Amino acid sequence: MKCRFCATPLDQVFLDLGCAPPSNAFLSAEALGSPEVFYPLKLFVCTNCYLVQIDEVQSHNAMFTPDYAYFSSYSRTWLEHAQRYVERAIARLDLRSDSFVLEIASNDGYLLQYVAARGISCLGIEPTAGTAQVAQAKGIETLVRFFGREFALELIGQRRQADLIIANNVLAHVPDLNDFIAGLKLALAPEGTLTVEFPHLMELVSQRQFDTVYHEHFSYFSLHTACQAFAAHRLRVWDVERLTTHGGSLRLWAGHQECNRADTAAIAEVLKSEANAGMCDQSYYAGFQEQANTVKNDLLEFLLAQKRGGLKVAAYGAAAKGNTLLNYSGVRSDLLPYVVDASPHKQDRYLPGSRIPVVAEAALSEHRPDYVLILPWNLKEEITEQLDYIRDWGGKFVTAVPRLEIL
Ligand SMILES: [Zn+2]
């Protein structure tokens, strides 16, 4: 077991969440009669480069099944984020109609639709066929592929190096990190720009976001570690922005080592805040398991208290992070009878592991729960606004991360 970036042997555990099924493996009613495969969910931190990573990449293909149920376009907040980004990137990088934009893990075209609308040619690559088909139906050229050196060499062969490469929330999902970054280096035009967004490990720790850990997330980055990983492939990060998405993310702007961009002051600022937090020290990573256990215990105490008091609890948002939280906490349908989700691709199915049914929003008005537990806490403003009507019958909202809170 070696670090997937620097190959140092891994021996320091960061978090052990036991075993769980892949978090996007929702079950049909027929599948309830069959067993599920549970994989260990254990993270290590590399004592050399501080990359936090899953101990072993389980079957990569098992994680990306054809019925993979995450469609980016079902979140309004996420669409707005994508649109703002596209407008900013076009202005900052002076992209024109003859520019070429490549997005890796382009999902259902949630972002490239805004690039295409500005008349700029673009290509998406996306490993899950179901979401790629939705993008293709919108007229966005999308290839069902994984990205890496091999794909980048094909682009070079077609003289299609990109002026902008977008890799949002994909770095964590990459099994062979060095092959992926080598591909970015190859696919980028000489003065091209690469933007990469990923959840910031510093926020994960400070906000106790252990529920963002799942099998499909192989790596967890600080800016310190990300800069090292890019520099090893002669890519230079020249700007960083702190975003509120996914509980606190970083957006890196990078180019070739020798590109014309000067480094902004923001890079030194974020690196300093990481160092001040202790991220270049092993002890920083040692206390996180206890933080996760506190979240789990508080949630169980809350659910048991409502059960004993005869009050009704429902959950909202069948997101991957909810599955990690519910499975690690051992919550089943006796404590949480159903989860509401807006996506028709998830309704009438069951959460992996916990097997809690996913239903449409109408269930809330019908059952009038006393509490609605918001599982995707990163979307809590959007969700409390959308479900404000539960207050008509005295319903309240609850979040479990970073701490149990009645809103
Ligand atoms: Zn390492």
- Compute and round to an integer the Cα radius of gyration of the chain: 21
Q: What is the 52 CA–ligand 1 centroid distance (Å)? A: 8
Distance 14 CA to ligand 1 centre (A): 14
Confidence of residue 76 (pLDDT cuts 50, 70, 90): confident
pLDDT at 165 over 50: yes
For 406, half-sphere exposure in the C-beta direction (CA atoms, 13 angstrom radius) is 10
Q: pLDDT by residue (tens digit) across 80-100?
A: 999 999 999 999 999 999 999
Instruction: Give the model's pLDDT for residue 66.
Output: 45
Q: What token pair was written down for 134?
A: 């939705």
Mean pLDDT score, 162-183: 95
User: Which runs of consecutive H residues, i.e. helices, occur in 32-111?
Assistant: 60-63, 76-93
Banded pLDDT at 32 (limits 50, 70, 90): very high
Distance from the alpha carbon of residue 102 to the mean position of ligand 1, in angstroms: 28
Q: How far is the CA of 294 from the centre of ligand 1 (A)?
A: 29
* Cα 255 to ligand 1 centroid, rounded to whole Å: 23
Does residue 219 register a pLDDT over 50?
A: yes
Which region among 75-84, 358-367, 384-393, 395-404 has the lowest average model confidence (pLDDT)?
A: 75-84
Between the CA of 3 and the centroid of ligand 1 the distance, in Å, is: 5
pLDDT at position 343 is 87
28 burial type by CB count under 10 A (0-12 exposed, 13-18 middle, 19+ buried)? exposed
CA of 167 to the centre of ligand 1 (A): 21
Report d(CA 331, CA 337) in Å as an integer.
Answer: 10
Q: Are 15 and 292 in contact (CB under 8 A)?
A: yes
* Helices and strands (H and E) in the chain: how many: 14, 17
Examine the pLDDT at 62 and tell me if it is beyond 70.
Answer: no
Residue 345 Cα to ligand 1 middle (Å): 38
Amino acid at 396: K
Maximal CA-CA distance, the chain: 67
Read off the pLDDT band of 319 (50, 70, 90).
confident
Triad 44, 205, 3: Cα angle to 5°? 20
Taking the C-alpha atoms of residue 145 and residue 73, their distance in angstroms, rounded to an integer, is 20
> What's the gap in Å between 222 CA and the centre of ligand 1?
12
What pLDDT band is residue 54 in, cutting at 50, 70 and 90?
Answer: very high
**Please, which residues have CB within 8 angstroms of residue 32's CB and are 6 or more apart in sequence?**
350, 355
How far away, in angstroms, is 63 Cα from ligand 1 center?
24
Share of the chain above pLDDT 70, in %: 96
- Higher pLDDT, residue 319 or 137: 137
Least confident of 195-199, 252-256, 343-347, 401-405: 343-347
Mean pLDDT, the chain, whole residue set: 94
Give me ligand 1 centre to Cα 5, in Å. Answer: 5
What would the two tokens of residue 60 be?
A: 């990569």
61 pLDDT band, cuts 50/70/90, is: low
3-state DSSP call for residue 233?
coil
48 CA to middle of ligand 1, Å?
Answer: 5
Nearest-angstrom CA–CA distance, 139 and 116: 9
| Residue 83 phi, psi (nearest 5) | -65, -45
Distance 176 CA to ligand 1 centre (A): 13
> Which of 207-221, 243-257, 297-311 has the largest mean confidence?
297-311
Distance 24 CA to ligand 1 centre (A): 28
pLDDT band at 325 (very low <50, low <70, confident <90, very high): very high
Instruction: Give 53 Cα–ligand 1 centroid separation in angstroms.
Output: 9
Residues near ligand 1 ion, CB 5 Å cutoff: 3, 5-6, 8, 46, 48-49, 51
C-alpha 130 to ligand 1 mean position (Å)? 34
Joined together, the tokens standing for residue 276 give 């001040």
pLDDT for the residue numbered 301? 98
**Ligand 1 centre distance from Cα of residue 49 (Å):** 4
Q: How distant, in Å, are the alpha carbons of 79, 270, 317, 345, 398 from that of 360?
A: 21, 41, 10, 11, 19
Residue 273 predicted with pLDDT over 80: yes
Cα 91 to middle of ligand 1, angstroms: 36
- Residue 326 φ then ψ, to 5°: -70, -40
Which of 13 and 378 is assigned the larger pLDDT? 13
In this prediction, residue 281 carries a pLDDT of 93
